[in-house]
Amino acid sequence: MEKSRTEDMQPYCRISRDFYIRDVLEVAPGIIGKNLVIVLHDDSVARYRISDVEAYRGYEDKACHASKGKTPRTEVMFREGGHLYVYLIYGMYWMLNIVTGTEDNPQAVLIRGLANISGPGKVTKTLSIDRSYYGEDLVTSSRIWLENAGAAPEYKTSPRIGIDYAGEYWKSRPWRYYI
């Protein structure tokens, strides 16, 4: 018998690889309401409920950084799901993304907001997430992971933010999910 889904859904249980290697359009809404757990510099553990995310889906999605092919920056998106894609934008803000899907199927979920923290730049500033988290594996890391946190909440969808360059079709995909 395969690993019990019931066990996976218990609160305060680290989410395993199976969750991440599905298509990003399944994983992104599934991340809403989960806890992002991070071990701080003083060794205390903080938990934040994830409230706002966006899906970036593969080569064809013109808004996805991987649509231009593999580069040193986007290389991690081509790995199997569960790794972190972290990059600097506008010279000031680190963006935190969770890679999803199978190997060589580049996808990721941008973490736009946590409970009481609105905006992807504020998320990483609050959690002190920077370049050093690039490539971190949420399945095995001892300093950052996701865990289940009870029932899946209701959520809304909308087009993704800040991707005017991607063209009308990709700009209009309702791939932002938020509480």
Partner DNA sequence: TCAGTGATTAGG
Partner DNA sequence: CTAATCACTGAG
- Applying CB under 7 A, which residues contact DNA? 54, 56, 63-66, 68-69, 71-74, 85, 87-93, 95, 97, 108, 110, 119-123, 160-163, 165
If the CB atoms of residues 134 and 155 are measured against DNA, the closer one turns out to be 134
Ramachandran angles phi, psi of 3, nearest 5°: -55, 135
Contact present, 146 and 35 (Cβ < 8 Å): yes
Question: Residue 13 or 88: which CB sits closer to DNA?
Answer: 88
Shortest CB 112 distance to DNA, Å: 7
Nearest approach in angstroms of CB 46 to DNA is 18
Closest C-alpha among 66, 57, 51, 88 to residue 178 = 51
Nearest approach, Cβ of residue 2 and DNA (Å): 31
Nearest Cα neighbor of 34 from 17, 12, 2 is: 12
The CA-atom distances, in angstroms, between 48 and each of 68, 78, 113, 147 are 33, 27, 10, 10
Q: How far is the CB of 43 from DNA (least distance, A)?
A: 27
DSSP category for residue 101: S
Report the residue number, 91 or 154, with the smaller CB distance to DNA.
91
